[in-house]
Structure formats: C-alpha cells, structure tokens
Structure 1
Amino acid sequence: MNRAITVLLFALVSLTWGTTWMAMSIASTTIPPMFATGIRFTFAAPFLILTAIWCRTPLLFPIGLRRYQAFVALFYFAIPFSLIIFGEQYVNSGLAALIFSAMPAMVLLFSVFMLNEQLRTGKIAGLLLSMTALAAILVLELDWSQSNRVAGIGALLCAALLHAYVYTRSKKRCQSVPVLTFSALPSAGAGVLLLGIGWIFEHPAVEYFSLMSLASTAYLGLVAGVFGILNYFALQQRTTAFRASLVFVVFPVIAIWVEDICTGKSLSGLSYVFLAQLIVGILLVVVPAKRASVFWITRKSKSATAIEEREKA
C-alpha cells in the first residue's frame, strides 16, 4: 500500500510539472509575463498559508534567516517564474521544459563550488551527455531565423540557473526549513510585488484577458503552486531524494507529449534519440555518489572473484 501511494505521488508530481509548461504558454498569450506570474502566486499563496497554519508549520524562517526569506521570494519565485513565462513566448512549452530539466546539472556545478562536493567521473559524464543532448535538440528543433529565439532561451536558462543557485544555497543555509515555510510567505510576497511591477511597467489590458489565459493562470496557482508543492513534499517524505529527483527525468517527456497533443508539434526522430541521451545524462547527474561507488565496487568485486575462480581452475 505504501509503495502504491509513493508511485501515485510520483505520477501526480510528474503530471503536474509536465502540464504546467503548456499552461504557462497559454497564460502568456493575453496576459503579460510578470502580471501573469503575480496572479499565479497571489492565487496560490492563501492556500499555502492556510495549509501551513493547519499543519502548525511556522510561516517565518528561523531568526537569522528572515532576510534570506525575502531573498527566496525574489530570486526563487518572482524573477525565475517571470523569466520562464517570458521565455515561453519565443520557445514552445516542450522545449522550455527540456531547457529547465538541465537544473540538476546546474545544481551539481553550484554544489562543487559552494558545498565542496566532489565531481566524480560518472557525474562529469552526465553533465556532458545532458548538455550536448540539449544543445543538439535545440539546434534541430528551433527556427533560428526567427527573432527573439536567443532571448527566450536565455531567459529560460537564467531561470534554471537562479533556481539551481537558490536551491544549492538553501541546502547550505536552511536545510531544516519545511517546504511550506519555504513557499508560503515568499510566494505571497512575490505575487504582490509582481502584480505591482507588472501593472506599472507592462500596462496589462485586463479587458483583453482571455478565459483560457485566466483559467491557465488559475491552474498554475492552484494545481502547480499548491497541489504540486504539497505532493512533492509528501513524496520527499516517503522516498529518497534520488528517487524524488527522477521527476526531472519524467516531466520534460510529459511536457513534450502535451505539446504534441495540444499543438501537433512533435520532435523529429533524431531529436528523440538525443532526448534519450538527455535522460541518461540527468540520471547520471542525480544518482547519489555512494550508490555509484557501490555499483563500481560491486562490479570490481565480481570481476576479482571471477579472476580468482579462473586462476583456481
């Protein structure tokens, strides 16, 4: 029963993260990026705050980390998600998800410099495989003659870099902070900030907001912002960090399938080959170092045993 619940949570998180990319693409058709992101977080924040209160989870970071809570609101919620929805104006949702799936590789690089983590051979191979595969897919699938393609890719990469940096820094500074504490007030602050900035600088024409864009924004707030966070929190409690991180392998594939179903845009056969390479690369990046060491030690032990048996024979 416990295993079935874990599998269900994994599937729900993968589906949630995989479908949000198309929702962000639809939201940006009539709502400016910052204002849409502000609506998303303003809608999600009350549910997260009430859930935290109901679970008796503190809303504030521990004393000494209160300024960092504001940092999280700005550099984990406000800026990255605005960059993502901006980038999706020039890159389709499936490719945007693929670009963001490089985040574990970025986390690994930041961990090397910020947490003194050792960069083992398997992880170097994973970095090379995932990055070259992603580059190949983008070269094959994007029409580079169109304007602002580079701006869209740059925005998505910056969003992934910011998420990776804050995630790595948070592992170092506030590893004990609950997920609800990490998300509730920062998302509220990000929402209010983005609504204000968006209203002043983007001049949203509210009368032209389509029902599809508003529904997509509500979906992002309630399903991705609340349901997704709570499910991932529950998944992390039930399984290892490695198994939970496998969501990064699954959600880009779902995003590509959703893109194909909704718009008819599918990857070429060669791009699917590179997609398989990308998945292998991400797996090598997220697999725990100890697990890899045990694997190689086991192989070495088996080889040594085989040699000894041959020598005895």
Structure 2
Amino acid sequence: MTENAKRIGIVILLFILVTLTWGTTWMAMKIAVATIPPIFATGLRFLAASPLLLLFSWLTKTPLLFPKGSRLFQLLICLAYFAGPFTLMIYGESYVSSGLASIIFANMPVAVLIVSILLLKERISPTQLLGLVLGVVSLSTILYLESSQTSGTSWQGIAALLAAVIIHAIMYVQCKKRSQKISVLTFNTLPCLGAGFLLLLLGSWVEKIDSAMFSTSSLISVGYLGIVAGVFGILCYFALQQRASAFQASLVFLVFPIIALGVERMVSGTTISQASLWLILPLLLGILLTLTPISTIRTVLRLEPVRT
C-alpha cells in the first residue's frame, strides 16, 4: 500500500468515525434528558470526559493553561463554548426530536458564515451567498412545518438549539479572529472540567435532582456523551482536520444529520415529516455551497483536478 493510499484510508476512516459519533450524539442527549435534568446532565457529561482529557494532557505533556494574556479568553470558552451552548442543546431536546435537533445544528457552517460577515467583515462569493440564502430558507421552512405539524415540537426547544448554534458560531469566529494555535487538549481540558463543576453546582441549585429517578439508559447516555462524543469524537475530528483539507473535514456537517435521522427511526420509530425530509436536500446543498471555497468551484467548472 502506497503512502497516499494509506493517507486516504485514514482520512476515510476518521470521517466515518466522526460522522457516526456526531450522528448518534443526538439520540444519546434525548435519552439522557429523559430522566436527568438538562443542566445537571451536561455537568455530568463534562465530568465524565475530564479524567480522560487530563490523562491525555499529562501523557503528552500538553499545557493546561492558555498562553499568558489569553487566560480570560479560556474562561470565556468554559462559559460560552461549553457550559452555555451544550446545556441549551440538551435542554432543546426536551422539546424537539433528536433528528430535528441534528438538522438545526448542521447549519453551523451557515451561522459561522453569517457571524464572519457581521464581525469580521468577511467577503463572500456569490455562490456562498446563494448557499446562505438557500440554507436559511430551507431551515426556516422545516422549522415552520415541524412546529405546526408535530405536537412534540416546541418553539421553546427550537429557540434553545438556535441560540446554541449562534453562540458556538460567535465563539468559533472569535477563536479564528485571535488566530491562536492552541492544542486541542489545552482548548478542551480545563474549560470542560470547569464547566462540569459549574453546571453540577448550578443544576443542584436550580433543578430538582433526585438520583433515584435516573434511569440506567440515561446514565449510560451521559457516559457516552462524555467519553465517546466528548473525547473520542473531538480527537478524531481534530485528527481529520490535520489530515484532510478544511473543506473535506467540513463535509461531516452534511452527513451526520442523515445518520441522526436514521438512528431516530431505528430507536423510536419516528422521524420528521415527509415534506421536511424533502427539504433536507436543498438545505444540505445550501450548507455545501457555504462550505465550498471559490477556488474549488472554479476548478470544478474548468473540470480540473482539485488539489488538497
């Protein structure tokens, strides 16, 4: 096997692992929040992930603190990247199906593009603008259809999930603006640990916590979210970003909602409406267009091989 073939094989394997991890995360959140309050469940999730992150940081001699001058930003990541958005995500799944939640979060590239335009004054191509409009219109229509046709869908849950996407997009753009080359372990370990303790304390204070009511399936789901999604998924996606182009790695956002919808049908026997399923096609096309660099589009139009 040549080195190039081996590299392609590793990229494909990582892509599959990431999409499977992200695709199953949504059903795990749905099961977890069934018997564990959302704030407390998110705190448990982060504390489940923290020991492994600390171990990997120790084994690789990775610093836990951000460089001097960026420590306040590290605290902001703890609050606005981990504690807030992840709690909003699992809270939203109290009112929204896991499949619809995954579709909302798949629009992260669209949200990042919008925030980049507003905060960084970033210029975009006409193709990206078309993708942005197509994505927003398709998602808005899906949300309208699901809220009006499905009794289990609430605007309360939709609003929480949209807020999580927007906050994550803002934090992503802020990280991009600062252009800090920080290890994935440094970025995740202490903020994850801090968010875990903070949310457990907050959950114990504002939520009615009765551990006797926690089901085994909910506890297993929390463990899965922390260890598999929170550690394994993050490291696999980081490895994918190192070995593939940014465009190739971003294609994960087109695949994991499909897996989430399939998992939802297998586990609960339900899915979104037929009309919404058809609207996923223009939605994913819109996301793809926002992700596609103009250089790639020009190469394809000239029928030249894409260089990665």
Q: Shorter-chain-normalised TM-score: which range?
A: over 0.9
Q: Which runs of 5+ in 2 are unaligned?
A: 1-5
> Given residue 208 of structure 1, which amino acid in structure 2 is its aligned partner?
M
- Alpha-carbon deviation of 1:113? 2.5
Call closer, same or farther: CA 1:268–1:154 in 2, change over 3 Å: closer
Which of 104, 112, 137 is the equivalent residue of 1:99? Answer: 104
Which of 117, 122, 143 is the equivalent residue of 1:138? Answer: 143
Call closer, same or farther: CA 1:99–1:11 in 2, change over 3 Å: same
Which of 77, 80, 86 is the equivalent residue of 1:72? Answer: 77
Alignment deviations for residues 77-97 of structure 1 (CA, whole Å, 9 cap, x no partner): 000000011100100000001
Equivalenced residues, count: 299
Q: Distance in 2 between matches of 1:290 and 1:188?
A: 40
Q: Distance in 2 between matches of 1:174 and 1:192?
A: 29
Alignment of 1:41-56 (within 5 A): 41-56=46-61
Q: What residue in structure 1 maps to residue 250 of structure 2?
A: 245
Q: What residue in structure 1 maps to residue 3 of structure 2?
A: none
Call closer, same or farther: CA 1:118–1:187 in 2, change over 3 Å: same
- Alpha-carbon deviation of 1:24? 0.3
Q: Is 1:24–2:29 an aligned residue pair? A: yes
Alignment deviations for residues 241-295 of structure 1 (CA, whole Å, 9 cap, x no partner): 1111111111111111111111111334432221111111110011123323444
The 8 Å contact of residues 35 and 215 in structure 2, kept in 1 or not, is answered as: yes
TM-score (norm 2): 0.93
Which of 212, 217, 222 is the equivalent residue of 1:207? Answer: 212
SS at match of 2:180: coil
Q: Distance in 2 between matches of 1:270 and 1:11?
A: 28
Q: Distance in 1 between matches of 2:149 and 2:88?
A: 20
Following TM superposition, the consecutive aligned residue runs of length 4 or more in structure 1 with deviations greater than 6 angstroms are none
- Alpha-carbon deviation of 1:53? 1.9
Q: Distance in 1 between matches of 2:240 and 2:294?
A: 21
Which of 152, 165, 168 is the equivalent residue of 2:170? Answer: 165
SS at match of 1:142: helix
The 8 Å contact of residues 77 and 171 in structure 2, kept in 1 or not, is answered as: yes
Q: Is 1:85–2:95 an aligned residue pair? A: no
Q: What residue in structure 2 maps to residue 311 of structure 1?
A: none
- Alpha-carbon deviation of 1:144? 6.0
TM-score (norm 1): 0.91
When the two chains are superposed, the root-mean-square deviation of aligned CA atoms in Å is: 1.7
Which of 183, 186, 190 is the equivalent residue of 2:191? Answer: 186
- Alpha-carbon deviation of 1:56? 2.2
Alignment deviations for residues 22-79 of structure 1 (CA, whole Å, 9 cap, x no partner): 0000000110000000000011011112112212222111111000000000000000
Q: Which runs of 5+ in 1 are unaligned?
A: 302-313
Q: What residue in structure 1 maps to residue 159 of structure 2?
A: 154
Q: What residue in structure 1 maps to residue 12 of structure 2?
A: 7
Q: Distance in 1 between matches of 2:212 and 2:274?
A: 43
SS at match of 1:118: coil
Q: What residue in structure 1 maps to residue 232 of structure 2?
A: 227
Which has the greater radius of gyration? 1
Q: What residue in structure 1 maps to residue 260 of structure 2?
A: 255
- Alpha-carbon deviation of 1:115? 2.5
- Alpha-carbon deviation of 1:180? 1.2
SS at match of 1:177: coil
